[in-house]
Amino acid sequence: MDKLPASDFRSGYVAVMGRPNVGKSTLLNALLGQKIAAVSPRPQTTRRQQLGILTMETAQIVFVDTPGVHKPYHKLGEVMNESAEEALQNADLILFVADASQAPDEEDYLLAGLVNKLKRPVPVILVMNKSDLVGPVDLDVHQAAIVELLPNCLPVQVSAAQKTNLDGLMQAVLSRLPKGAPLFPEDQVTDLYEREIAADLIREAALIHLREEVPHGISVRIDEYTEREETGAYIAATLFVEKESHKPIVIGQGGAMLKKIGSAARVEIEKMTGRKVYLQLRIKVQKNWRDDEKSLNNFGYRKP
């Protein structure tokens, strides 16, 4: 393909939104071809606004992975809604991701409400994900119900997990991206420091291995992240739990659970960084960290 004149280059911010568990992180990872956003079988692993940057010959897409919007029943919920709204206001294009195998629910309505209430109209692509889980008739019914909520959207049906029709989605995105010069250097894939991604990967490993036993009550702080020429990276991190009674669950019999979480997280961090990692985990109790504004700041859920 001939190189486009610089004046035809396209670039922009693409906000990825959708209720928890519809596959936003899976989609972002599939589009970017590497593991950046934390993917989990349980909702709400992605807590921060994250960028994934895809640079091509003719365009640069900067994806913003917004946390799911849901009813704010405690402060963490409010913070998540705020950052979702912020991502939308600054977007050039919105990817509204929905679960094609289910009829839209209350949360989809809430999200669509957010989009419709934006002061500046932003083009919307409706991504009907998980198309592998549903027949064509039901898919059409579910899609029509969401199109009714987002009258000007362009629907595209994909399966992020099976990488179906991602080309079609990319074409739709590229055709709606504004003209402009690249926003970031072309070798940059994310604006998050590696240590923040590492913290997300550790939290993800903990959630996967603990399942329902410590519900949502884990936060991760990276205490040290140092490069060692010969041995790779040394990472020390603290897992915070809300209750004293959660501590032995996270540690496990003779430290077995902590070891499992540590080695699962280490494997993922090594994949992300492409080098060896030595990971050391500690546990601390910090009561009610989710309702405490100050700890939310400390854990990086709000920009300083």
* Contact code string over 136-175 relative to ligand GDP, x by CB under 6 A: -----------------------xxx--------------
**Shortest distance (Å) from residue 159 CB to ligand GDP:** 4
In eight-state DSSP terms, residue 10 is: E
Report if residue 40 touches ligand GDP, rule: CB under 6 A: yes
- Using CB under 5 A as the binding rule, whether residue 83 contacts Mg ion is answered as no
* Cβ neighbours for 45, distance < 8 A, ≥ 6 positions apart: 25, 38, 39, 200, 203, 204, 207
- Burial class of residue 99 (count of CB atoms within 10 Å of its CB; 0-12, 13-18, 19+): buried
Query: Can residue 208 be called a binding residue for ligand GDP (CB under 6 A)?
Result: no
Q: What number of chain residues touch ligand GDP (CB under 6 A)?
A: 20
Q: Does 105 bind ligand GDP (CB under 6 A)?
A: no
Taking the C-alpha atoms of residue 269 and residue 276, their distance in angstroms, rounded to an integer, is 9
Residue with Cβ nearer Mg ion (24 or 142): 24
Answer for which of 46, 49, 66, 83 binds Mg ion (CB under 5 A) is 46
- Restricting to residues 11-30, name those near Mg ion by CB under 5 A: 24-25
Shortest approach of ligand GDP to residue 246 CB, angstroms? 23
By CB under 6 A, name the binding residues for ligand GDP: 18, 20-26, 39-41, 43, 46, 129-130, 132-133, 159-161
